[in-house]
Structure 1
């Protein structure tokens, strides 16, 4: 029953010149499929991909940050998603922030952008559009680290990873044999993507496909008594404002959430309402469909998702195939 899904994953792997792929599916807390193929790098004699392989999940780390933001709201470190950002960013240009709220920052409708020289400017007024930019992730990472007096990766390690039993999920600063290298140019050797620090500011979070799936399963099961249910609900329910443009995506705390299907969402139109997904530029995708009680973790190691300017089509098709497969399960 999973052959169409496996074939699609392999097809995109080959078309996008990824050297490896992994696919893990959990249903009702059990792994029902594990598929591994390819190698850790595009160079000769590379290690084969297996269940111990750790992929760089790039900006999919935002789902981990989103959970800590939800915690900060739950514990009263922040009062509300509708608090003005200026209340928390004293050293930021308040005129530029204007009426930007925490909600705007975590749902990608803040309108802020950053030039190569570091200058921050405004693309559109808060809530008047949607754009995937990095400045909001940096701002929210700095904020939660400051609110707690320690990094959000440290908070997760102590409060979530250890109780959940995750041992292969970490922000890496040194290469090791379990880590997959990332391909930028298929004609050039892949390289390790490690960071200088483990404070969550860089895209150096690595995990196995199994533990990525278990991260999704934690959310599917409303925290599994490790995380308060209210925290999970904050993170994974639609928190976006109503947009004039109905094609714009809807988000929880960085997760893409299926409310009314939208053309610019990475979730396909056949995915049930209430589902949510996160992905990274190197190809990792974590899809949770509560209606079918499933979690799907897909991994690649090629920078930029396949399809160029039409990449959303292929992401949406993947989620649609998953939905079609389990609709008949």
Structure 2
């Protein structure tokens, strides 16, 4: 291993132990070539299989980047004619007073201000575009929207347009446990849990991805839709997905988002990207520990995986997220 990568690997292993994850992996692409591939631990904490390149992790909220690409496709295909269309135009079964002036832009940048109460009813936390809050309701709404616009689950749209052309065989929303699926550790004193879902329409958090294909997903965006010298996804679709769409006027310390991707423009207190990460970089992550970081300035994609629910650090979790991205950026300065 090159000395320049040792700090990243040590960091990944240290957090694995501190957070009591049973598994970790790290893969780095530089100039579209694998320069580091690291696997450690087991599929669960009860004498399970060793983690290998075939192991598939539940990437939790990182799945939003896959949904976000479908939003970009819907705009490119004319199924959504403007990101600033009111959401009420597409959800006539929801309370129009709660939706108010919420737009598609608000839904994909976490600035919609909507949540659900215990009864599943929509409630409003703040006016659309006024602030930023990470909630799950926008994912439900956008999933339903894309599925309705295309007349099929967005997962099938991705299979046709991206997964098959790129030869992905280890990226899918799983409904039954399999030998290559990594369990999720919720209580370190107990065995890992099966987190497969009951449906394949993309609504549930049951997307399992190998570390290699997670990195290749990132490289698709880095290369503006090209893979193996073929244009798999139109360049315009990729650019839409990773462009900052956060409304102007929200607090300067709040994150900036593309279509769910966290996009770096300048240091912001509440961003998950560190202050040494170059502008134009973007990242997606999940509660089980996966991180996909793309740094175009250095032509780098970094995929990191864990299998422990909740990122390490509790209320200081942003510090550790930023620390990882800063170390990654320092590695390639």
TM over 0.5: yes
Structure 1 unmatched ranges of 5 or more: none
| CA distance in 1: counterparts of 2:84 and 2:255, whole angstroms | 19
Decide which of 36, 40, 58 is 2:39's aligned counterpart. Answer: 36
1:11 aligned partner = 14
Asked if the contact 2:129–2:250 (Cα under 8 Å) also holds between the matched residues in 1, the reply is no
CA RMSD of aligned residues (A): 0.7
Decide which of 175, 182, 198 is 2:184's aligned counterpart. Answer: 182
Decide which of 226, 229, 232 is 1:226's aligned counterpart. Answer: 232
Shift of residue 244 of structure 1? 3.9
Secondary structure of the residue that 1:99 maps to in structure 2? coil
| CA distance in 2: counterparts of 1:299 and 1:20, whole angstroms | 8
In the TM superposition, 1:1-329 aligns within 5 A as 1-44=4-47, 46-224=48-226, 225-327=231-333
| CA distance in 2: counterparts of 1:262 and 1:213, whole angstroms | 26
| CA distance in 2: counterparts of 1:73 and 1:245, whole angstroms | 27
Secondary structure of the residue that 2:35 maps to in structure 1? strand
Secondary structure of the residue that 1:61 maps to in structure 2? helix
| CA distance in 2: counterparts of 1:174 and 1:101, whole angstroms | 36
| CA distance in 1: counterparts of 2:169 and 2:317, whole angstroms | 32
Q: Tell me the number of residue pairs that the alignment of Structure 1 and Structure 2 aligns.
A: 326
Shift of residue 260 of structure 1? 1.9
Shift of residue 218 of structure 1? 0.4
| CA distance in 1: counterparts of 2:11 and 2:119, whole angstroms | 40
Q: Could you list the runs of 4 or more consecutive aligned residues of structure 1 that deviate by over 2 angstroms after TM superposition? A: none
Listed one character per residue, the Cα deviations across residues 206-235 of structure 1 (whole Å, up to 9, x for unaligned) are 010000000000000000010000000000
| CA distance in 2: counterparts of 1:119 and 1:188, whole angstroms | 34
Secondary structure of the residue that 1:2 maps to in structure 2? helix
Asked if the contact 2:184–2:288 (Cα under 8 Å) also holds between the matched residues in 1, the reply is yes
Shift of residue 191 of structure 1? 1.1
| CA distance in 1: counterparts of 2:12 and 2:249, whole angstroms | 33
Listed one character per residue, the Cα deviations across residues 54-98 of structure 1 (whole Å, up to 9, x for unaligned) are 000011000000000000000000011111111111111111111
| CA distance in 2: counterparts of 1:43 and 1:212, whole angstroms | 26
Secondary structure of the residue that 1:283 maps to in structure 2? coil
Shift of residue 117 of structure 1? 2.0
| CA distance in 2: counterparts of 1:201 and 1:195, whole angstroms | 9
Shift of residue 115 of structure 1? 1.7
Secondary structure of the residue that 2:224 maps to in structure 1? coil
| CA distance in 1: counterparts of 2:38 and 2:85, whole angstroms | 44
| CA distance in 2: counterparts of 1:8 and 1:244, whole angstroms | 33
Listed one character per residue, the Cα deviations across residues 80-125 of structure 1 (whole Å, up to 9, x for unaligned) are 1111111111111111111100000000000001122212100000
The TM-score normalised by the length of structure 1 is: 0.98
Listed one character per residue, the Cα deviations across residues 231-263 of structure 1 (whole Å, up to 9, x for unaligned) are 000000111112341110000000000012211
| CA distance in 2: counterparts of 1:132 and 1:243, whole angstroms | 18
